[in-house]
A and B are shown apart, each in its own frame.
Chain A
Amino acid sequence: MNLGNCHNFYDFRELAKRKLPSPIFHYIDGAADDEITYKRNTSAFDDVDLVPNVLRGVENIDLSTTIFGKKIDLPLYCAPTALQRLFHYDGERAVGKAAQKFNTMFGVSALSTVSVEEIASLIDTPKMFQFYFHKDRGLNDAVMERVKAAKFDVMALTVDTITGGNRERDLRTGFTSPPKLTLSSLFSFAVKPMWGINYLTKGKFELPHLQDHVSEGTSTAVSIGNYFSNMLDQSMNWKDAEKLCSQWGGHFALKGVMSVEDAKRALDIGCTGIMVSNHGGRQLDGSRSPFDQLAAIVDAVGDKMDVICEGGIQRGTHVLKALSLGAKACSGGRLYLYALAGAGQAGVERALNQYRAEIERDMKLMGCTKISDLNRNNLRFRKK
């Protein structure tokens, strides 16, 4: 199996599974507890049907949309995800350059393995930085200043990781970052030698946004759950978010809002957008899926801020359904991470290209030529 055989989400997932040491694959692929929310994030789309219109003249399709004041050419973007150089040695460089080719938003995680300065020098298309609120206020201020100086377009504060989710696959595989070679994990690393060679030879593994602020440095192995539970500030509240929002002074989003009440408060504190998200099912299992909750949130705040539907997206039609309900755009993690692991920049480009082709084809089949043609008349919820 190689990149040429990858035609959809599941193909890329299969390729990634073959290339990655199993603890790393399961870190990407896994979710919290029984992974019920993770599965629902995608299956929720199946409870609603698209109703096409015909004979509309669909030779030219415009897929562009404007989010956070930036025009992007695809209503789907790369959500910020951690540790990308663990998945492919080019990491964020690969994803950023691929996103630039499609002129879509590139989300950079607080736990990214390439610095914001380097990313800013590599790509000039829209960029979002994802912020984690640490106990160490000096670290928070320093990150904020660096991202400002690197002229990122959007700041997104993640609010759904106040403590680490119960990722049982990671407990079983003993996943840490950077990977710690224990006897039990040695085998899974040994059977994927290329990954190991690249990991050891293509530059030291670090978290450039944190390394100066963590006494042990960021090259020692800690589990992601421990990072959330020990470094992030569990007392974070609306006042803190409001302060960060004004400190940033530009487009500011909360990532991981699920209740209507919180969406309204986000508006009150000056946010210009929210990501309706449960962190890809990786945090609170049994919580609602973004698509199930989307309509209620759009009804409450959709005309006043950008509502992004994030998580579970595996097909162009999923994007169309979310946009029909009133999302401004969609974003996803695994939809490009498997491709990154499978083939670096070329992989992410192929994945984004497929999503663009699907969305364009599906728009035509729906009889829509621009994003604003999509609305709730195109949808029917199946009665159960």
Chain B
Amino acid sequence: MTPDDLKRRDFLKASSGLLGASVLPVSLVELAGATPAESFTFAYISDSHIQHVKGAQFVRNWDRGLMRAVAECNLMNPRPDFVMFGGDLAQLALPQELDHGAQLLSGLKGPVRMVMGEHDYYADDGAYWSKLFGPQWYSFDHKGVHFVVLNSILTDKAWYDRWPDGKARMAEMAGLDNPNGSPFQVGAEQRAWLKKDLANVSKDTPIVVFSHSPLQKIFKNWNFWTDDAELVQDILKPFKKVNVLYGHVHQIQYNQIGNISFNSVMATAWPWPYPQSYAQAPSLLPKLTVPINRADPFFERDATGWQYIDVASGRVAAHYLLPENPVRTVAFDAKKNQPVDLQYQDEKSRTLPQNHY
């Protein structure tokens, strides 16, 4: 899919509600000629990190990020078929954080499906999250696409057993750069489940996998990493069209490994530096990825946001809604066989703030 193959149609009712038309996305990019059954849109909100302060008080900044995404998402017209939440709803997996997050998410119109993040999990192995939202891994079919949700933030037993309780595990895992943390993994149990789940799916069926951590290895220092990524990729290899969508990294990343396209999604809470901005460790940021602009700390929503995803002919186009910035689109390009940023490819077309150092 190249920009020429794309046609545009109005997507948000600019007149409706809460937010001014100027801050709203104006168009949906849709593949020309795709049949309605193959072409649809879902919204993707992620990494809200609802953080309890004390009493009834939560960190205002993170609350606002999620509230804004929910409000903007509700203005989409036509409606997305469903909304995914990509994990890290909470900061320390406290029941009051998950409750407050669930309450804010309940403002969304339409069905919402959840992915587990490490900040939702380690205090109680995801027990409270599961009570609110259901199973930690599952699959479903929608308009000819097979969707899989994995809990990719598990870790090895030796690390788990090092700590006295969930509170200690959560405290260690919550620090992105904490050397006492531990690399994520999907684990043998879910890999076996995934094999079984995909056994009855035709190799032509487009697959979309949702994980919290990238199912590829990018930067171990900050756990932009899944230890058994290659083993999961092996299970996905036989399928012709595979798309992996992940949260956790709080920045735009995209990559192509064989038949598998990777797209990350933005956080509503705060942006993260790109790995190359840490001078003391090598980064494997995919060469394909053109970084987004550096964030302005004086505008607290800068470089946060949410996205809507078109699935056209089984391939993903991710549209990133970044407050006070133009919508950015990273779409699968059939000729190049990889995701491409529709605006920033050429080095010369990049802006100064895209230089991270």
Q: Do A and B bind each other?
A: no
